[in-house]
Amino acid sequence: MDLTGIFTNHQPKEKINWGEAIGLWDIGRFKVIGLTISEIFLAQAKDVDLKNSLNLGIEMLIIPHIEKIQSFMHKEGLEVPAVPPRKNLDIVGKQIEPNTFIQDDEIANSIREIYKFGLSLDMRGLSESSRDDARELIWGILSDDYKGYDAMVKLHRKKNWLVPPPTV
């Protein structure tokens, strides 16, 4: 039995639980996948507002979130989802004619669905977290992702790209 905490009034740091670790792993892995998809969509997008939105999502959400998750997991002594070499950066806006494979409205609707799935992963990770620092990290990611989703919905409305779900 470790009585150190009784004599020094110092409690050992609580270990990360499986739910927190898996939640962060899943969010991180999803962000890594989202990075590649977003860069491909950025190369195919023609609409300036959509390109700006994609670029902001990459620079303000995806990359910082990956870095925060990696840092947190490394501090816990855990492996992190691998980020593959970003070889496709040279195609963004250069070698591929925009809208040759997918149109702007299809890109926007795909990104909206990606945001929705990411929000569900964020919520699952948050609901599995009991440590304050893990909850704060995931809450920050969830909050940022919701703002990105909200901005995407507003862009959909502005461009008349919104495909509403079926009504009952």
User: For residue 8, what pLDDT band results from cuts at 50, 70 and 90?
Assistant: low
Q: Which residue has the higher pLDDT, 163 or 157?
A: 157
Q: What is the pLDDT of residue 23?
A: 96
Q: What is the pLDDT of residues 52-103, one digit of tens each?
A: 999 999 999 999 999 999 999 999 999 888 887 776 666 655 566 777 788 9
Query: Range with the lowest mean pLDDT among 34-43, 80-89, 100-109?
Result: 80-89
For residues 160 and 25, what is the distance between their CA atoms, to the nearest angstrom? 35
Tell me the CATH number at 133. Answer: 1.20.1260.10
For residues 55 and 166, what is the distance between their CA atoms, to the nearest angstrom? 30
Q: Do the domain assignments include residue 167? A: no
The sign of the CA dihedral 19, 25, 30, 34 is: positive
Q: Do the domain assignments include residue 120? A: yes
Q: Do the domain assignments include residue 27? A: yes
What's the number of domains the chain is made of? Answer: 1
- pLDDT at residue 136 tops 90: yes
Q: Do the domain assignments include residue 104? A: yes
CB 148 within 8 A of CB 57: yes
Q: Do the domain assignments include residue 48? A: yes
Q: Do the domain assignments include residue 4? A: no
